[in-house]
Chain A
Amino acid sequence: MSPERSPNMGVEAVQAALAAAVPGCTVEIIANPSPAAQHSLLIDAEHAVAIAEFLRDDAALRLDYCSNVTGVDWPAKEGGGFLEVVYHLYSMEKKHGPLVLRLRTQDRSAPAHLPSLTPVWRSAELQEREIFDLFGIHFDGHPDLRRLLMWEGFVGHPMRRDYVEPDDYEYEPTAHDAVLQKAQQHQRGVGQ
């Protein structure tokens, strides 16, 4: 392990280090074809906590700060698809980053399960709660997994692509485009 290894030198080095440090893990590079070329690492859920602990504690990497956690919904056209969680990691100590980690669920069932990385990075706590709330991903090992933005008893996960919002288009004075269609649909529904 060379001490100058950092995510800024390429994700390949991190991938090689992970393969050596966490036996049995599968780490795949997801290339970013844009000029930013910010490639990310897709890690398997089974070894996610071990990988996260290595990234945080390794003397060369020391990725001690998780700045952002976000969810992505990837529905497939013919049903199926998966949900994804993206972690952005930085090192305050080594002043490098970001390293982008991705975790994917098996399918889009509710609740889909993934391991929580809050025990590794405390800053992920509220963001994982938000993803649980809006995407319906159940984080196993999260200390306090409750809805964050919506209320207890709310049905559905609004950031999923197939979420159907409540029909409250009874008054749209300046409706156009999609809103106009929904308002007209509402009026037809009321008229019947």
Chain B
Amino acid sequence: MRGILAVDAQLKTELQRQGIFATTLQELYNWGRKNSLWPLNFGLACCAIEMIASTMARYDLARFGAEVFRPSPRQADLMIVAGTVTKKMAPQVVRLYNQMPEPKYVIAMGACAISGGPFKQGYNVLKGMDRFIPVDVYIPGCPPRPEALIDALMTLQKKIDAQTLTGENQPRCVDASAPSEFLVPRFGAHDLEPPQNPTVWHPPLVQITTAQPAATVPPTHSTAGAHES
């Protein structure tokens, strides 16, 4: 159920047949936003190639109103974090996100942007973009195919469509108490400072349990990650 429409859906359809269009401000607002998502022209690694492919004629992201890749964060609604975010790059990504006007959304594209991917245990790659900025849609894959990016965009459109102007599910820009700027990490001696933004991300409660002492258990069976949050 979305929108507070005084007329029921059946009556609305009947009215449309008679040439009368009944709608709500919220519906118009969401319709406008979801069909003109302008992404930031911003690629970090191999996922960017798939992002470029999805905008070209074969996959044609323009069908969903997201063809206008903006070269400036001031004109963009959507940040597609396409690729590996190194710790050296992370402050710039957060700064670009802060410079985007509300309402704004983030798609984390590919294994690296989600969690660090194959570089997770390295010394120089951020273990997921969601440690510093709120991510709306995650696409797994290495790299995800253009169809996956289109699916993520459609998921985001559904999410926008379900948002309400008032109440719990309102977009962040309408909520006065929500933060408008996010912490830009500084470079420390060994890692970013802080290594994650505690207001955005905290480690999920994972208990690493082993049935027997770790030395006697084969490594493939020794992990049982139980999500408790």
Contacts and interface: CB of A to CB of B under 8 A. Distances in A.
A and B held together in a complex? yes
A187 B208 contact: yes
B123 interface: yes
A154 B189 contact: yes
Contact of A180 (B122, B195, B219): B219
Contacts of B203: 170-171
Given A156-B190, A174-B223, A175-B223, A184 B208 contact: yes
Interface in A70-84: none
A166 B219 contact: no
Contacts of A151: 87-88, 187
B208 A166 contact: no
Nearest to A163: B123
Question: How many of chain A's residues touch chain B, expressed as a range?
Answer: 20 to 34
B187 A158 contact: no
Given A155-B190, A168-B191, A179-B121, A173 B127 contact: no
Interface string B159-196: 00000000000000000000000000001111100010
B24 to A, nearest CB: 41
Label chain B's interface by main secondary structure: loop
Given A171-B204, A175-B208, A187-B208, A166 B222 contact: no
A175 B214 CA distance: 12
B223 A153 contact: no
B124 interface: yes
A116 to B, nearest CB: 24
Contact of A153 (B127, B187, B204): B187
Nearest to B187: A151
A134 B88 CA distance: 14
B214 A180 contact: yes
Please classify how large the interface on chain B is, using the bins under 10, 10 to 19, 20 to 34, 35 or more: 20 to 34
B10 interface: no
A183 B219 contact: no
Contacts of A166: 123, 190-191, 195
Contacts of A153: 187-189
B88 A172 contact: no
Interface string A175-189: 111011111100100
Given A153-B187, A180-B222, A183-B208, A171 B127 contact: yes
Contact of B88 (A149, A176, A177): A149
A171 B187 contact: no
B223 A168 contact: no
Contacts of A154: 187, 189-190
A171 B126 CA distance: 13
Given A170-B203, A175-B223, 17 more contacts: A149-B86, A149-B124, A151-B87, A154-B190, A155-B190, A165-B123, A172-B206, A173-B204, A173-B206, A174-B223, A174-B225, A175-B208, A175-B225, A176-B219, A179-B121, A182-B121, A184-B214
The 8 closest A-B pairs by CB, nearest first: A170-B203, A171-B203, A155-B189, A166-B191, A173-B225, A166-B190, A151-B187, A176-B219
Interface of B: 86-88, 121-124, 127, 187-191, 195, 203-204, 206, 208, 214, 219-220, 222-223, 225, 227
